[in-house]
Amino acid sequence: MATKNGGFVALLLLLSFLLSSPLPARCDAPLPVNVWPKPTSMSWAEPHMAVRVSSSFHVVAPSGNAHLLSAARRYAALLLAERYRPLVTPAVNVTAGGAGAGAAGRGAELGYLTLAVSDLHAPLQHGVDESYALEILPAGAAATVTAATAWGAMRGLETFSQLAWWCGRERAVLVAAGVRVEDRPLYPHRGLMLDTGRTYFPVADILRTIDAMAANKMNVFHWHITDSQSFPLELPSEPALAEKGSYGDGMRYTVDDVKLIVDFAMNRGVRVVPEIDTPGHTASWAGAYPELVSCAGEFWLPDASDWPSRLAAEPGAGQLNPLEPKTYQVMSNVINDVTSLFPDGFYHAGADEVTPGCWNADPSIQRYLARGGTLSRLLEKFVGAAHPLIVSRNRTAVYWEDVLLDQAVNVTASAIPPETTILQTWNNGGNNTRLIVRAGYRAIVSSASFYYLDCGHGDFAGNDSAYDDPRSDYGTSGGSWCGPYKTWQRVYDYDVAGGLTAEEARLVVGGEVAMWTEQVDAAVLDGRVWPRASAMAEALWSGNRDATGRKRYAEATDRLTDWRHRMVGRGVRAEPIQPLWCRNRPGMCNLVRRRRSATGVGDSGGAAEAEDGGGRSTGLGDSGGGAARRRRKTAAAARRASETAAAGPRDGRRRQRWPGGSCSKTTTAPSGRRIGQGQHTPTMAMVNEVVAMRLAAMDAEGTMGV
């Protein structure tokens, strides 16, 4: 008993000591709240304040845009339903002020968010203004999103939702107050390509993917609908294509499915760009029209030792025959139906990987070649007929880069005029992007070296003897032609306009991560896409560098770990990028410890990226010199680690966690500074709270009064 009394006395002595001793500083996070992608400009007035959100919270939106009204209702419901609890909570004072009536005894609460939009009728199209400003006044007196268009207002709504969190102590949703955000994207095209030709995905998976895209401020869902393996899209004018080309009755997208997906995306400011890949990748057309498809049904690789003789880039051989007149009748029907179903101004026509072996094996094409024809002229005949059909439907035609850059089969620029054409790159990193923009074309960047999310999972081809060699991992690629796996850091690192002049860079409209699905289905889709696609989303929205021009890896790691946690809470099965221990201790899992700036805020992660002797960034990129760069990076990291150790411990290694549930202490210290922010003295209220907790514990133990 004496021991227990002595322990309680010791506790009081400890608390007395704390009254005269500074608390350890928090681990320095760049901002106590996390918005992904990082806004162009964001400030949160000191001292940090938060306001309770009323249980009757709503968004006041102007009438005149049904999609914006839908978004307003959705975000109001999300704010009240989401129970996001940051493990490292913002240190804030909960204000007694707010817009809207407050509950008795709880002080005023934020009752509404106002949307002010200049042009409610601006269509969702490439290049639409997505800028916005968000202001939540100090004390939560008012909250407003101002935007030029409804689509910019939607981006502001998403940012507002990420400024809120659930506070268990307050039993309320809190939102940061005294916040000012001014934001706009760097690139107008920030997309995700999903392949439903190789693997069918239920509509629910597509909708969840689009919803996650909107949360990441991505605005283009590139739907690679068909491929050699299946034709899952039902078309009114060509019903046989899906009837005989899909995987089965339950694996088709109906007209109503498409309308649902397009409208769902519009309500989130996401464009849906359809792709019907032609003339290659069309084996699935042969069920309905065998006479139109060359080499259909043939084994794709007649001679495994002779790769140039292949009939297709992968299993599923078949290409449309441009010499068959009916090819163009069917193509016209397909283009008309697809452009009627999908209102977007882009139509992706594919035109990649046209394989010489397939056309060379077709008797009619053999006769054409014998008369002096060439495969490139044959492709130009097809594209020259299809391109005007696309343009006549008031669409910009998008093609994969192969149509112009493939060495064996390509077209001349006259068949694809730059003013009506965009080319999508995927080979040779920035080199092909440079070739495309120098030819005068706009470019969408999907470099396989950075943005292909399917890479690094081995090959799906069977009986490959290369796997029998235990001495190597298939040349370190694990059998994946584009291996190794593209980590989120690799995705985040890529500069889509890197190495271009300012004039050339203006032709880069943005980028897309690509989810090819040879080894992906609904069971693993979310984890393969997220949060790696989030990395590209930020790089294309606000960039991947801090104000000094350095890559912000460490700061981005902490924020992406937290953002992934929030996405999971919203129903997206995103894969983790760090242990939970790291999320609870921002900055503690870095290779090199961040130095504190004069403001007490970290250096945005720049120190986590090692430098060479000249102070130049040595992050990942398209350039060579990897081995030397790694040696310099390792040496610099070791040098900094040594300097850190020599300097001794610093404040900020550990955040003092005072009792108070899932939100930080809201009491203001006599000095006017808040507990949990820098070095502050605990108040007597905090001492009393700890003592009360200890007394309650002793009461439970039956030791009170002893």
| Rounded CA separation 355/175 (Å) | 56
When pLDDT is averaged across residues 113-134 and rounded to a whole number, the result is 99
Domain ranges of the chain: 41-183, 189-291+322-352+364-451+486-541
Whether 306 shows a pLDDT value over 80: the answer reads yes
Determine the Cα angle at 464 with ends 462 and 465, to 5°: 145
Q: With contact defined as beta carbons under 8 Å apart, do 288 and 360 qualify?
A: no
Share of the chain above pLDDT 70, in %: 76
C-alpha dihedral (312, 313, 316, 320), degrees to nearest 10: -50
Confidence of residue 583 (pLDDT cuts 50, 70, 90): confident
Check whether domain 189-291+322-352+364-451+486-541 has CATH 3.40.50.300, yes or no = no
**Looking up tokens 């088709």, which residue turns up?**
252
Q: Report the pLDDT value the prediction gives residue 675, as an integer from 0 to 100.
A: 26
Average the pLDDT over each of 142-156, 350-364, 651-665 and give the range with the smallest value. Answer: 651-665
Q: With contact defined as beta carbons under 8 Å apart, do 611 and 636 qualify?
A: yes
Phi then psi dihedrals of residue 266, to 5 deg: -60, -40
Sequence length of the chain is 706
Determine the Cα angle at 129 with ends 123 and 130, to 5°: 105
**Nearest CA-CA partner of 51 in 100, 11, 89:** 100
DSSP-assigned beta bridge partners for residue 510 = 189, 444
- Coil/strand/helix, residue 633: helix
Angle between helices 326-341 and 375-392 in degrees, nearest 10: 40
| Rounded CA separation 691/688 (Å) | 5
Alpha carbon of residue 448 to chain centroid: 16
DSSP-assigned beta bridge partners for residue 51 = 175
Domain 41-183 classification at class level: alpha beta
Whether 282 shows a pLDDT value over 60: the answer reads yes
Per the model's pLDDT, the better-predicted residue between 239 and 597 turns out to be 239
Residues assigned a catalytic role? 353
Q: What string of DSSP letters covers 201-226?
A: --HHHHHHHHHHHHHTT--EEEEE--
Q: Report the pLDDT value the prediction gives residue 469, as an integer from 0 to 100.
A: 67
| Rounded CA separation 446/400 (Å) | 10
**Looking up tokens 């400024």, which residue turns up?**
163
- Coil/strand/helix, residue 517: coil
When pLDDT is averaged across residues 142-161 and rounded to a whole number, the result is 98
Whether 650 shows a pLDDT value over 60: the answer reads no
Tens digits of per-residue pLDDT, 72-116? 999 999 999 999 988 777 788 888 655 554 444 455 799 999 999
**Whole-prediction pTM value?**
0.82
Tens digits of per-residue pLDDT, 327-364? 999 999 999 999 999 999 999 999 999 999 999 999 99
Peptide bond into 659 cis (omega under 30): no
| Rounded CA separation 266/631 (Å) | 49
Q: Report the pLDDT value the prediction gives residue 539, as an integer from 0 to 100.
A: 98
Number of helical (H) and strand (E) elements in the chain, helices listed first:
20, 17
| Rounded CA separation 553/546 (Å) | 10
| Residue 294, CA distances (Å) to 323, 364, 422 in order | 10, 9, 28
Whether 69 shows a pLDDT value over 90: the answer reads yes
Whether 598 shows a pLDDT value over 50: the answer reads no
Q: Report the pLDDT value the prediction gives residue 11, as an integer from 0 to 100.
A: 43
| Rounded CA separation 103/662 (Å) | 21
Tens digits of per-residue pLDDT, 457-513? 988 888 777 666 666 666 666 778 898 999 999 999 999 999 999 999 999 999 999
Q: Report the pLDDT value the prediction gives residue 644, as an integer from 0 to 100.
A: 41
Whether 528 shows a pLDDT value over 70: the answer reads yes
What tokens were used for 228?
């050699």
Q: Report the pLDDT value the prediction gives residue 584, as an integer from 0 to 100.
A: 84
